[in-house]
Amino acid sequence: MKAMIRNKRGISHVEVIMSFIIFFSIVAVVFIFLRPIREPSLNDVVLDIVEEGFMEDSLSAVVTIPFKIDDTIFANLSYTCFRVVHPLDIDDVDPDKLHLNNVFLKNSSREIIPFDLEPSSLEVAIEDPFYSLSYSFQEIFAPEALNRNDCALVPQDMVIFSTPRVDTVYSYNKLTEINDEYTRDYLGLKDSWFLPRGNDFSIKILDASGNTLFDMARGVPPRRDVFARDIDTQMLRGTETERITINIRVWQK
């Protein structure tokens, strides 16, 4: 009986030892064969700094409000334009409110059309039932005026404004300003983006066909240790958006 007890204790000790061996083997496999979570490298941080500063200075928000006119309004062909009450807060004097130049209008074919905009009403030529009213506090569009009189007033229950859609895109105008600042005051631009003085950067922007739109390159980067990042995104030029690729490169002096 004592011999059997000793055997059971021996087996118990062996099982404990084997459990430890298996546990440490699994831990070893994890550290040897699985890639550990990496801390961000200094190069990634510098790329992030440049991208963050660049985005903050070059993005614009464009709000689009689609609306539809009741089809029955078009039965009266004696009118060539209509007037609707719009939801925008227009004031050409107050800098904190929208101005006429911050707004543009498109028809259902996405073509720019002329219009007259008052603080509370919008006058549009009769073309089709569907339109989209867009605006941006950061952009100037200089829309064409309609210059027509006696537009038919559309009752508010005959026009439906949809939920606004917000698109954040790179602005061609702001990119032009950054390009000029890069050439004129490169060190000042670095300081405004909190980029360490020991690092340099360049930015190239290409259109969808691969043509260069902007090439912000100060000096020649070294042959080695240049770190790059490509961003495929959209740019607003005038009232149209287009695909672009932004290439950011950073290196140490």
Of 14-28, 37-51, 177-191, minimum mean pLDDT range: 14-28
Query: Domain ends where: 167, 200, 233?
Result: 167
Instruction: Give the model's pLDDT for residue 2.
Output: 46
What distance in Å separates the CA atoms of residue 247 and residue 234, rounded to the nearest whole number? 14
What distance in Å separates the CA atoms of residue 87 and residue 85, rounded to the nearest whole number? 7
- Based on the fold, state whether residues 152 and 76 are members of the same structural domain: yes
- Based on the fold, state whether residues 51 and 86 are members of the same structural domain: no
- Based on the fold, state whether residues 233 and 152 are members of the same structural domain: no
Query: Domain ends where: 167, 200, 215?
Result: 167
Identify the CA nearest to 89 among candidates 63, 59, 52. Answer: 63
Domain that holds residue 228: 42-58+170-252
Q: pLDDT band for 128, please (50, 70, 90 cuts).
A: confident
Question: Which amino acid belongs to residue 38?
Answer: R
Q: pLDDT band for 17, please (50, 70, 90 cuts).
A: low
CB 165 within 8 A of CB 64: yes
DSSP string, 77-129: TT-SEEEEE----B-SS-TTSB-GGGEEEEETT--B--EEE-SSEEEEE---S
- Based on the fold, state whether residues 235 and 153 are members of the same structural domain: no
Q: Structural domain tally of the chain?
A: 2
State the residue for tokens 């912000």.
Answer: 216
In a domain, 1, yes or no: no
- Based on the fold, state whether residues 125 and 87 are members of the same structural domain: yes
- Based on the fold, state whether residues 119 and 162 are members of the same structural domain: yes
At residue 136, does pLDDT exceed 60?
Answer: yes
Instruction: Give the model's pLDDT for residue 42.
Output: 60
Q: What is the pLDDT of residues 169-222, one digit of tens each?
A: 999 999 999 999 999 999 999 999 999 988 999 999 999 999 999 999 976 677
CA dihedral 94, 96, 102, 104 (to 10 degrees): -100
Left (φ > 0), alpha (ψ -120 to 50) or beta: where does 210 sit?
left
Number of helices (H) and strands (E) in the chain: give both, helices first.
Answer: 4, 13
In a domain, 9, yes or no: no
Instruction: Give the model's pLDDT for residue 97.
Output: 87
Query: Which residue has better confidence, 95 or 187?
Result: 187
In a domain, 111, yes or no: yes
- Based on the fold, state whether residues 162 and 197 are members of the same structural domain: no
Name the strand (E) or helix (H) holding 190.
helix 186-192
- Based on the fold, state whether residues 206 and 189 are members of the same structural domain: yes
Query: Domain ends where: 145, 167, 189?
Result: 167
Instruction: Report how far apart, in Å, the C-alpha atoms of 233 and of each of 14, 104, 171, 191, 248 are.
Output: 62, 22, 11, 26, 13
Q: What is the pLDDT of residues 72-84, one digit of tens each?
A: 777 766 778 889 9
- Based on the fold, state whether residues 223 and 198 are members of the same structural domain: yes
In a domain, 148, yes or no: yes
What distance in Å separates the CA atoms of residue 205 and residue 149, rounded to the nearest whole number? 45
> pTM score, two decimals?
0.78
What distance in Å separates the CA atoms of residue 133 and residue 122, rounded to the nearest whole number? 10
- Based on the fold, state whether residues 126 and 205 are members of the same structural domain: no
- Based on the fold, state whether residues 123 and 142 are members of the same structural domain: yes
Token pair recorded at residue 71: 């089809």
In a domain, 24, yes or no: no
- Based on the fold, state whether residues 162 and 209 are members of the same structural domain: no
In a domain, 13, yes or no: no
| Average pLDDT of every residue of the chain | 85
